[in-house]
A and B are shown apart, each in its own frame.
Chain A
Amino acid sequence: MRKILLSSLVATSLSLGASTASAEGNLSIYHWFDYIPQELLDKFSEETGVTVTMDTYDSNEAMLASLKAGKLGSYDVAVPGDYMVQVMVNEGLLDTFESSELSNFDNIEAQWMDVSFDPGRQSSIPYQYGTTGFMVDTAAYDGDINSLSLVFDPPEELSGQINVLDSQGELLALASMYLDIPQCTTDRDQLKQLNSMLKEAKTHWASFGSDTAKEVLVSGEAKVGMIYNGFGLRARDERASLQYAFPKEGYVLWMDNVVLLKDAPNRENALKFMDFLLEPENAAAITDFANYIAGVEGAMALASDAVKQAPELNPPAGQPGQFIETCEQSVQEIYDRIWVELKK
């Protein structure tokens, strides 16, 4: 037993030793699972000499919880979604930078410069953006698919074969669009309507699943399934009859952003990394990997044809998606209640 304990000590010191600095220092990234190609991190290390370590999370809220529980100060950058950037700004979890500190700052596409969650891009740069809608198996249903009614009030033949994302924000936002009520409404009648509509809709759903959103569609288990467009592209690769819908009532638009964290131990390198990600070539590499669009000028031109021409990534003109709004606390509490009642 002593031997085992000893070897574990050796292992510990080894793994501690591995993370000690190279000449150019370190960079500590807090990122989503499987959202950046390893090759790109290697390329960054090669170009700058910076040693990269990456830690991963599986939801915006999990990241926030772990930062607030004490991990702030151990990472340099994180990659929160749009609304989460705003939350983190409000919580004082982010550092700011001057546009002059990033030589590629001007590569940010104009439309993503003055975003509501970080006006003027003081703490964040775009990473990738995409949409949340749903896919339909056109082999099982040949009607018009571009309506949210397929999810919330489906025809007989689709009832009981629907998978929705297990995510309050996305589901309630889409439900609001379907009912044509504003997100985060404070109107009581509208909230009641939302509540009863969802309860009714749930009787048509087979499952709530985020982790398996793609798999249930590919396997044919679900004929209609809420999904992110990038996953949708991969799902179609595996089952050609799947088609991504752009519902006329609206769909969710989201954007993940690289943010500079407060108390970053390697602020310099964090900025180097952000600059690196704003190179069109590098942004395109992420697009090819994750199948979403970078908000970087010139990146799309360098992406592979499969991505460029994917119907999932090209919404019809004049029909933009909407960001999920961050509700004020009193409304969010009602949303939480609706959600619990839906799943009780």
Chain B
Amino acid sequence: MDKRFDLRHFPGFRSVTFFCLFLLYAPLVIVMIYSFNDSPSITNWDGLSLRWYIDVFYGVEAPKYKAAAFNSLTIAVCAAVASTTIAVAAATAMHRAGSFRGRSISFGLINLPLMVPEIVTAVATLIFFSAVGFKTGYLSILIAHIVFCIPFAYLPIAARIQAVDSQYEQAALDLYASRFEAFRLVLLPLILPGIFSGFLLAFIISLDDFIITNFVKGAGVETLPTAIFGAVKLGIKPNLMAISTLLLLVSILFVTLSYLVGKTGEKYHARPK
């Protein structure tokens, strides 16, 4: 039994992980440092200053950024929740429901949003929306996001379901659980890490989208990417760095919260290995 700890460990994996995190965070350090730059340029350093944070909160464009951040975050959460729900159902169908009509094309269909180049989806969706008289606005962005988030949520969940043997649910059925109970009480907890992964991917994909959003949004509805994208042409101003740093802070806040919640949750509920 004591061998097990050994078997979990591969020499070098830890260093690769730290190297990987270093690569991920190195550019962000640049972002953070330059958000405190006094100069309006991101290439020259003029000394420490909080002026860009003040600009973000009280500048003339503050209402725009606030609304954009609100839209971005709510759309990302809603799109991630909706697409993860759809993806869980789809993954269950694909790997737990035996054969049914349309199963073989379903895999392609679910991954279709990945395969169509974004600009094509963008133009085509706009043509479709205007053909059926769907007014572009918040809702049209949300729908488009749900669509392209589905494969990002689906693939991790499906991978997870495949790793969980169906005998656990069979056992539950043998003990007179209904199929819904077998799903809710047995399968769902077992595939939670997959759902969590899928949700996170859907969330960041939605948060980052520019091309499709820019086409299907209505006048006056901005998301963060559409609000900041053009500013880059003038050279990124440090206020964008400040916004990014603030977003990082918000995300770190979430992580800390989830860590604390997880900590209390763990006491009640031993996690199946």
Judged by CB atoms under 8 Å, the answer to whether A and B touch is yes
Chain A residues with CB under 8 Å of chain B are 1, 4-5, 7-8, 11-12, 15-16, 18-19, 28, 30, 32-34, 37-39, 42, 53-58, 62, 65-66, 69-71, 74-75, 210-212, 214-215, 218-219, 231, 234, 238
Interface string of B102-139 (1 = CB under 8 A from A): 00000000000000000000010011011100001111
Inter-chain contact A5/B126, CB cutoff 8 Å = no
Inter-chain contact B71/A15, CB cutoff 8 Å = yes
Across the interface, name the chain A residue whose C-beta is closest to B133. Answer: A70
Q: Which of B123, B226, B235 contacts A56 (CB 8 A)?
A: B226
Inter-chain contact B77/A4, CB cutoff 8 Å = yes
A34-B230, A34-B231 known, 14 other contacts, Cβ within 8 Å: A1-B85, A8-B77, A8-B78, A11-B74, A12-B138, A12-B139, A12-B142, A34-B234, A38-B61, A53-B219, A55-B217, A55-B218, A65-B123, A75-B219
Q: How far is the CB of B200 from chain A (nearest CB, A)?
A: 16
Counting chain A CB atoms within 10 Å of each CB, the highest count among B82, B129, B215, B234 belongs to B234
Q: Is B41 an interface residue (CB 8 A)?
A: yes
Q: List 7 A-B contacts (CB under 8 A).
A: A11-B138, A12-B139, A15-B137, A70-B130, A75-B219, A218-B41, A238-B41
B138 — which chain A residues lie within 8 A by C-beta? Answer: 11-12, 15-16
* Given A74-B219, A75-B219, A238-B44, A8 contacting B127 (CB threshold 8 A): no
Interchain CA distance A71-B217 in the complex, whole Å: 10
B60 — which chain A residues lie within 8 A by C-beta? Answer: 37-39, 42
* Given A34-B230, A69-B127, A19 contacting B220 (CB threshold 8 A): yes
* Given A8-B78, A15-B138, A74-B218, A69 contacting B229 (CB threshold 8 A): no
Q: How far is the CB of A43 from chain B (nearest CB, A)?
A: 11
Q: Is B233 an interface residue (CB 8 A)?
A: yes
Interchain CA distance A218-B75 in the complex, whole Å: 37
Interface size class of chain B, counting residues whose CB lies under 8 Å from the partner chain: 35 or more
Q: Is B173 an interface residue (CB 8 A)?
A: no
Interchain CA distance A62-B74 in the complex, whole Å: 27
Interchain CA distance A32-B231 in the complex, whole Å: 10
A28 — which chain B residues lie within 8 A by C-beta? Answer: 219-220
A62 — which chain B residues lie within 8 A by C-beta? Answer: 214
A12 — which chain B residues lie within 8 A by C-beta? Answer: 137-139, 142
Closest A-B pairs by Cβ, 6 of them:
A33-B230, A70-B130, A53-B220, A38-B60, A69-B126, A8-B78
Q: Is B66 an interface residue (CB 8 A)?
A: no
Across the interface, name the chain B residue whose C-beta is closest to A228. Answer: B233
CB within 8 Å of A: which B126-163 residues = 126-127, 129-131, 136-139, 142
Interchain CA distance A53-B67 in the complex, whole Å: 13
Q: Which of A38, A55, A57 contacts B220 (CB 8 A)?
A: A55
Q: Is B43 an interface residue (CB 8 A)?
A: yes
A42 — which chain B residues lie within 8 A by C-beta? Answer: 60
Inter-chain contact A214/B126, CB cutoff 8 Å = no
A34 — which chain B residues lie within 8 A by C-beta? Answer: 230-231, 233-234
Interface string of B211-237 (1 = CB under 8 A from A): 000110111110000100111111110
Q: How far is the CB of A301 from chain B (nearest CB, A)?
A: 25
B142 — which chain A residues lie within 8 A by C-beta? Answer: 8, 12
Interchain CA distance A93-B78 in the complex, whole Å: 36
A212 — which chain B residues lie within 8 A by C-beta? Answer: 232
* Given A8-B74, A37-B60, A71 contacting B130 (CB threshold 8 A): yes
B126 — which chain A residues lie within 8 A by C-beta? Answer: 66, 69-71
Inter-chain contact A70/B234, CB cutoff 8 Å = no
A5 — which chain B residues lie within 8 A by C-beta? Answer: 78, 81-82
Q: Is B70 an interface residue (CB 8 A)?
A: yes
Q: Is B64 an interface residue (CB 8 A)?
A: yes
Q: How far is the CB of A242 from chain B (nearest CB, A)?
A: 12
